[in-house]
Amino acid sequence: MAEQTGADSKMIDPAELSKAMTNIAERSQRIVTDFLTRQAADPSAATADPLNIGNAFMEMTAKLMSDPAKLVEANLNLWQDYMSLWQNTARRMLGEETQPVVAPDSGDRRFKDEMWQENEIFDFIKQSYLLSARWMQGMVKNVEGLDDHTAKKVDFYTRQFVDAMAPSNFVLTNPEVLRATVESRGENLLKGLNNLLDDLERGKGNLAIKMTDYDAFKVGDNIAVTPGKVVFQTDLMQLIQYDPTTEQVLEKPLLILPPWINKFYILDLRPKNSLIKWAVDQGHTVFVISWVNPDEKLAHKGFGDYMLEGPLAAIDAIEKATGSKQVNAAGYCLGGTLLACTLAYLAAKGEDRIASATFFTTMTDFKEPGELGVFIDEEQLSALETRMNQAGYLDGRDMATTFNMMRANDLIWSFVVNNYLLGKDPFPFDLLYWNSDSTRMPAAMHSFYLRKMYQENRLIEPGGIELNGVKIDLGNIKTPIYMLSTREDHIAPWQSTYALTQHVSGPIKFVLSASGHIAGVVNPPAANKYCYWTNAKKPKNPEVWLAGATQVDGSWWTDWQKWVEKFAGKQVPARVPGSGKLKAIEAAPGSYVRVKAV
């Protein structure tokens, strides 16, 4: 192979190599110096273990050592599995056919290269890793006596370690990387080192992995392009009204509240999968809140401010623009949590401004928050608040890292292999561009959200949360609700979101879509993908609901349209942004969404 590739591959010029290595050394020294200077000036950096991982593993180890019989049994099983693997490998080398002792999951793309199966050595490396990973994770999961939070934390960070140690992440144990290294005479590794330095420079000493070609996309040019105008704004948001595409529209406008953890254009990536454009085409007068990307000047803004300057201000503005006193509102993720609070707030004040409410993947009961709960305990929250109080906000990269860790193989290690080991540039992908376009969280708001909702779970308690002098009680909500959750959601587990069906007083339709937090929501009918489940009953147990549900092929969008039309009023002449009492400020998608956190 070396002789064949040697004839086809160019030789590396020693002078060019020396120049490249000198440049790398200079850049590396500058990056490290800058990073150490910032660390020395950051008092929170002195905390050796802000996530309190060490104590969790020490407690787990103590529990594990208290039952030596179980430890011996687990080690014996691992030894037997290794003996079987050794025997199978030896038989394969002698030309015999054997069945694997352990195999990766069908969706595990780390071992897609054919050499992981066809070559005895790489097959042995792969199976040996899978056996060790299974043993390690099994040991952690079977430890008795740990409290639930500590057990989940240990399990989560064990998985992070196991994923990091995969043989696919190292040059000498990844056949695809070895082949590329031979064929390019090591240029892939040199290019990969430059990619690594580029990411460190962009992250100012912190690793900001490049997930896509950032130059391939521009907000307002080839993503977030549905025509419209910004017609109103506050310190916290711009309100976008979209141009109609039908001569007649539904009387009551549609107001969409996206999360401010991410930017709104996940609902408007491209025309063919834009929920915003699709809703406009169905005859809705669509308004969308585009949240500000806050800096230290907005550190004092709380959850109540987001309600007052967000949906409540938007509803008043929409009445001026259209004359409609009511809207149909839809909230996505954190935007849905805010919508639930807004509904309860309006109910307490006796105001009927929202004709119907739609929730996309929305948590209101945080008792079982999924893997995000791993990051919620007093030690971690205190460390986080120290950093936020110093800066005035939570850096968008921190939130992005948290979500990426929950799918580390797809959102971290696959790019480590592609960018740094193979020396390739990431593929242009609009979804990953949006995922990398992070947003900050104001210190006051984020602390309130994490403590009152995630840590204390006060939102489901009548009067447990007070916003702007009004006690919030979800039980007072009588507004008709359409609730969409997704079956593979790792951010807002559907079994937890389902709890809202038990806490409101009005009619509620719960719908479960296939796929995850993004793909299950952004699923246009034209794609003809996935399916969804419906069930008119709402038993207390979500699994009982699913057992009695009916599966429907395709997108839930059409089902929602039939539902929301019942609350949208008669047909009226289409409204053009800026033609009413609110004049156009600037073209959609506006200026707030263009502000970068990094």
Q: Which of 275, 333, 405, 477 is catalytic?
A: 333
Q: How far apart are CA 216 and CA 198, in angstroms?
A: 17
Our answer to whether residue 333 is catalytic in this structure is yes
**Beta strands at 254-257 and 286-291: parallel, antiparallel or unpaired:** parallel
Phi and psi (nearest 5°) for 303?
-60, -40
Nearest to 115 by CA among 192, 184, 179, 189: 179
Nearest to 533 by CA among 559, 505, 564: 559
Work out the end-to-end distance of the chain between its first and last CA atoms, rounded to an integer number of angstroms: 44
Phi and psi (nearest 5°) for 426?
-65, 155
Beta carbons within 8 Å of 257's beta carbon, 6+ residues apart: 289, 310, 311, 329, 330, 331, 332, 335, 336, 338, 339
Nearest to 417 by CA among 205, 179, 123: 179
**Beta strands at 441-442 and 465-467: parallel, antiparallel or unpaired:** unpaired
Q: How far apart are CA 570 and CA 541, in angstroms?
A: 38
**Which residue is associated with the tokens 């120290």?**
386
- The answer for 535, left when phi > 0, alpha when psi is -120 to 50, beta otherwise, is beta
Cβ atoms of 60 and 150 within 8 Å: the answer is yes
Q: How far apart are CA 489 and CA 518, in angstroms?
A: 8
Q: Residue 445: in which H helix or E strand, if any?
A: helix 443-448
Coil vs helix vs strand at 201: helix
Known catalytic residues are: 333
